[in-house]
């Protein structure tokens, strides 16, 4: 870099992030940002070692570099002296060695760099009014890089004051003595620059570290945003600042919110109250806000809401929220899931269930009606058989036929009653009607039709009754006959052997009936 202008150009273009040491004058502050000063830039008066004059008076011919702060100091402190301006420090020092000027005004930091080369042992420092003058030195960054400017200021504020004091003392020690040797000047110059370099490297290290952390956080935030935007649902995070559920601050919302309510995430961030306005338009808003306040105590909330989508189709959403108390309110983290398809299936299943129940009820009504209709002619047959009973007593054969006809009619009536009982079972209205029952008579009348049925199938029917069985029991004769008829009918249908046996026996608490391989235990 040849001069400050080229360095500032590189700073603006981004080739360099910061300038380690800059005298921050008001003119320079118009073009760049300076941190808080960490030292002062001292200016010294140099003369050639061969120069006999070792003091500065009003007639001394003094040189300076054009456009530098040394020119300003020189014109302020020595306004009447003859002054010659040069383009660079090297040109100024060559003119001093060639006695074109008696004295040269130069910054101590610049002098320490130039005096270690060809000017080593050829120049010395003179006592002058410059010794009491200094200018704050800070780190310069581009005016657009405010983040780095703030980071450097915070880092400098955290730096121990003793380190900054060491830098300042090192600069002052060099300029307070007259006739300082060049070797000592170089030593202190290197010491000062070493401290500055160490401080600068520390600043740059922490700056780079903070930049890396910022980049990592931005990368993590981008990944999280991508995941939330592609999640099968919507993530919504807001802070409720008071007990008023409308007093909210939106913290985060997924971009897919526009698909659900027709409002983009940017619009909601700019005006979070639009969410409250949508809730207030609902007919159940009083209940809804009450549930929100109740969730503050529970710490969680889950509900299903129906809303209107942008396409004017009914939509359902499920809301699951976790509520955490924070400073100045509560933080809500909510997931909104579109459950429209699930609700549609649920409504379809409910409709199908209602239709099935309606069909079952219609079937039951039909069976009941038909059963009642069929019972009418059966009752007529039974009445006629009852009227014929006295006329068959004197004829044994006619009496037997009459008895079988009466039994068959009773069985047919029982079948119709079974259909009615089925309807009662479906309606949950079936009851038992226990009454005294003579077991021998009941079993005899029960077995007669099954004996005939077995003979027709070529089976030999045998029946045995335990003598210890009680003569009379308290039971529902109709229901018992239904059960036994089913057992015997199944045995007759399923058995292919030549023998069908049925026996009754008693136990301490049960009466056991068995038809071949078909067993049934009846509570006593």
Give mean pLDDT, residues 283-309. Answer: 85
Give the pLDDT confidence score for residue 3 in this predicted structure: 59
3-class state of residue 395 by DSSP: coil
Contacts of 431 (CB under 8 A, 6+ apart): none
Which strands make up the sheet holding 460-465, listed edge to edge? Answer: 460-465, 499-506, 510-515, 518-523
Q: Are 32 and 143 in contact (CB under 8 A)?
A: yes
Query: Residue 524 pLDDT more than 60?
Result: no
- Of these ranges, 248-252, 364-368, 374-378, 478-482, the one predicted with the greatest mean pLDDT is 248-252
Strands 103-107 and 62-65 come out as parallel
Least confident among 20-34, 245-259, 392-406, 474-488: 20-34
Give the pLDDT confidence score for residue 321 in this predicted structure: 92
Angle among Cα 47, 48, 52 to the nearest 5 degrees reads: 90
Query: Residue 398 pLDDT more than 90?
Result: no
Give the pLDDT confidence score for residue 322 in this predicted structure: 92
Q: Where are the beta strands (DSSP E) in 309-374?
A: 314-326, 329-338
Tens of pLDDT, residue by residue over 314-356, are 778 888 999 999 988 999 998 888 888 888 888 889 999 998 8
Contacts of 110 (CB under 8 A, 6+ apart): 89
pLDDT category at 508 given cuts 50, 70, 90 is low
CA 80 centroid distance within chain? 76
Tens of pLDDT, residue by residue over 20-39, are 777 777 777 777 778 777 77
Exposed e or buried b per residue across 394-406, where buried means at least 16 C-beta atoms within 10 angstroms of its C-beta:
eeeeeeeebeebb
Give mean pLDDT, residues 45-65. Answer: 86
Distance CA 520, CA 112 (A): 118
Distance of CA 180 to CAs 46, 103, 247, Å? 10, 15, 72
Strands 103-107 and 300-308 come out as unpaired
Q: Are 443 and 465 in contact (CB under 8 A)?
A: yes
Strands 435-438 and 472-475 come out as antiparallel
DSSP 417-483: HHHHHHHHHHHT------EEEEHHHHHHHHHHHHHHHHHHTTPEEEEEE-TTS-SEEEE-HHHHHHH
Give mean pLDDT, residues 65-77. Answer: 83
Give the pLDDT confidence score for residue 330 in this predicted structure: 93
Q: Where are the beta strands (DSSP E) in 143-247?
A: 234-240
Q: Are 253 and 335 in contact (CB under 8 A)?
A: no
Of 142, 112, 177, 188, the residue nearest 33 (C-alpha): 142
Domains and CATH numbers, the chain: 4-171 (3.40.190.10), 226-339 (3.30.450.20), 346-427 (1.10.287), 435-502 (3.30.565.10)
* Six token digits for residue 457: 């199938």
Give the pLDDT confidence score for residue 487 in this predicted structure: 82
Query: Residue 369 pLDDT more than 70?
Result: yes
**Average pLDDT, whole number, for the chain?**
77
Percent of the chain scoring above 70 in pLDDT: 82
* Six token digits for residue 188: 């202190």
């Amino acid at each position: 870099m040849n001069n400050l202008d080229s360095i500032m150009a590189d700073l603006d273009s981004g080739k360099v992030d910061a300038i380690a040491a800059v005298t921050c004058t008001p003119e320079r502050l118009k073009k760049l940002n300076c941190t808080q000063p960490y030292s002062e830039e001292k200016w010294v008066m140099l003369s050639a070692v061969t120069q006999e004059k070792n003091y500065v008076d009003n007639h001394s011919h003094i040189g300076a570099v054009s456009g530098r702060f040394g020119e300003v100091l020189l014109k302020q402190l020595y306004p009447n002296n003859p002054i010659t301006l040069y383009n660079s420090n090297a040109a100024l020092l060559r003119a001093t060695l060639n006695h074109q000027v008696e004295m040269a005004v130069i910054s101590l930091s610049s002098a320490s760099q130039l005096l270690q080369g060809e000017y080593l042992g050829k120049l010395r420092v003179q006592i002058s009014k410059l010794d009491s003058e200094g200018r704050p030195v800070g780190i310069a960054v581009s005016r657009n890089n405010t983040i780095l400017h703030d980071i450097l200021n915070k880092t400098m504020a955290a730096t121990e004051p003793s380190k900054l004091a060491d830098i300042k003392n090192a600069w002052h020690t060099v300029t307070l003595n007259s006739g300082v040797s060049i070797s000592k000047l170089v030593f202190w110059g290197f010491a000062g620059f070493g401290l500055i370099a160490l401080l600068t490297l520390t600043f740059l290290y922490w700056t780079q570290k903070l930049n890396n952390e910022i980049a990592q956080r931005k990368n993590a935030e981008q990944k999280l945003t991508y995941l939330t935007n592609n999640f099968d649902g919507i993530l919504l995070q807001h802070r409720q600042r008071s007990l008023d559920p409308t007093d909210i601050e939106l913290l985060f919302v997924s971009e897919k919110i526009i698909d659900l309510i027709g409002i983009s995430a940017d619009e909601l961030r700019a005006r979070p109250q639009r969410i409250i306005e949508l809730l207030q338009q609902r007919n159940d808003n009083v209940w809804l806000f009450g549930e929100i306040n109740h969730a503050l105590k529970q710490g969680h909330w889950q509900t299903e809401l129906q809303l209107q989508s942008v396409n004017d189709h009914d939509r359902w959403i499920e809301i699951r929220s976790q509520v955490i108390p924070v400073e100045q309110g509560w933080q809500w983290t909510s997931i909104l899931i579109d459950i429209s398809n699930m609700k549609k299936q649920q409504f379809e299943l409910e409709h199908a269930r209602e239709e099935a129940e309606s069909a079952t009820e219609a079937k039951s009504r039909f069976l009941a009606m038909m059963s009642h209709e069929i019972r009418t002619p059966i009752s007529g047959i039974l009445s006629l058989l009852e009227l014929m009973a006295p006329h068959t007593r004197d004829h044994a054969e006619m009496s037997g036929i009459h008895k079988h006809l009466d039994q068959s009619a009773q069985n047919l009536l029982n079948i119709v009653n079974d259909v009615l009982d089925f309807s009662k079972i479906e309606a949950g209205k079936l009851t038992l009607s226990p009454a005294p029952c003579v077991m021998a008579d009941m079993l005899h009348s029960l077995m007669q039709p099954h004996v005939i049925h077995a003979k027709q199938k070529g089976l030999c029917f045998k029946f045995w009754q335990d003598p210890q069985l009680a003569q009379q029991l308290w039971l529902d004769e109709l229901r018992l006959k239904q059960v036994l008829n089913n057992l015997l009918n199944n045995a007759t249908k399923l058995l292919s052997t030549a023998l069908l046996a049925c026996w009754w026996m008693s136990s301490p608490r049960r009466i056991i009936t068995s038809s071949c391989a078909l067993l049934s235990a009846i509570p006593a």
